[in-house]
Structure 1
């Protein structure tokens, strides 16, 4: 089991990153809530990981902290929830927000995410309510504001590329292409980079 990766962040293409560790590049998929916390390219990064082995692939998932990884592991134990859907859930809301939804039986917020119908949301609440009790009582929380990255001294990414990158990331997280494009267009402003655009699109979807 690969439990932690420490190395140099060499590529960032939501929701995937490439981390160089002593010359070996690890491709890691991350929920957007962890992706937002990554440092700039070519800086050192530490991520906690979960390794999934399938007949057709070996996948590595990364998280900013152990709590989010623990929640991911609880999610993929739930009936009908695979790693991709768990990644989508933890991209649309933080670990704390998800636990609040479960505690409060807030099915409507869960249904707002792709791949989760009412029955799946209700099943998640029932299956995880007791299992998440070990994390303790979580009070209502909101996502912290994400500071926009300054473009001073840096090359400006073309608008179309920013929108396309954001839409592609949303599609990778389970949204349909037309839905992803609509989400991006609905929140885009000229001062956004792709990460900020993805974050606002996901927030608006809830």
Structure 2
């Protein structure tokens, strides 16, 4: 209904802003990420999500479209309401959330206050379905770095479970990843390590 509001920032708080547009002051709930980007501004262009329920009509605001999109994806998940969505986006940037989803990083998401392991797993599972192939493949060096680290730690856990000592497994994995020209998947990495360890 209301896609964005542009106007003068009358009040700025870590959890909300009041933005004046045409003499009307809109109370907009925001994440800490958005707060850090607007706290020194006099004017702002805020992308909004208008949330209606029986007892309330609330505006949620975001500095960029990417964060708004993540928020809308999050609240479409059963058990994740707007307050939880905002809490996640206050704890993680949309890029960090993206990386956690791509890498199935339950620990990062469950590290958010109020998010248990089961909810984190559900968020990862459902957002992987909702995110387009392009979105899942997109990501800068940070994403690649996290992905490599995540695959290595998962492979290490699997190898130690299979009875290989941690030090031997780590050395083997490091050598394989150093020698390999391509990005190895988890299964390939474990198979190669089992042959060499």
TM over 0.5: yes
Match of 1:102 in 2: 101
1:1-206 paired onto structure 2 within 5 Å: 1-38=1-38, 40=40, 43-133=42-132, 134-137=134-137, 138-139=139-140, 141=142
- Do the aligned partners of 1:11 and 1:18 also contact (CA within 8 Å) in 2? yes
- Do the aligned partners of 1:96 and 1:141 also contact (CA within 8 Å) in 2? no
Q: CA deviation at 1:14?
A: 1.4
Distance 1:20 1:28 in 2: 11
Distance 2:28 2:141 in 1: 30
- Do the aligned partners of 1:99 and 1:132 also contact (CA within 8 Å) in 2? no
SS of match in other structure, 2:37: coil
- Do the aligned partners of 1:100 and 1:140 also contact (CA within 8 Å) in 2? no
More helix by share: 2
- Do the aligned partners of 1:100 and 1:139 also contact (CA within 8 Å) in 2? no
- Do the aligned partners of 1:9 and 1:44 also contact (CA within 8 Å) in 2? yes
Instruction: Note the alpha carbon deviations across 1:136-179, whole angstroms, 9 max, x for none.
Output: 4224649xxxxxxxxxxxxxxxxxxxxxxxxxxxxxxxxxxxxx
CA RMSD, aligned part only? 1.5
Are the structure 2 counterparts of residues 140 and 34 from structure 1 closer, same or farther at C-alpha, using a change threshold of 3 Å?
A: farther
Distance 1:100 1:30 in 2: 22
Unpaired runs of 5+ residues, structure 1, are 143-206
Q: CA deviation at 1:23?
A: 1.1
Structure-2-length-normalised TM-score: 0.68
Unpaired runs of 5+ residues, structure 2, are 144-197
Stretches (4+) displaced over 3 A: 139-142
Distance 1:140 1:132 in 2: 20
SS of match in other structure, 2:79: coil
- Do the aligned partners of 2:12 and 2:39 also contact (CA within 8 Å) in 1? no
SS of match in other structure, 1:105: coil
Are the structure 2 counterparts of residues 39 and 117 from structure 1 closer, same or farther at C-alpha, using a change threshold of 3 Å?
A: closer
Number of aligned residue pairs: give it.
141
Instruction: Note the alpha carbon deviations across 1:53-90, whole angstroms, 9 max, x for none.
Output: 11111100000111111111110001110000000000
Distance 1:78 1:140 in 2: 29
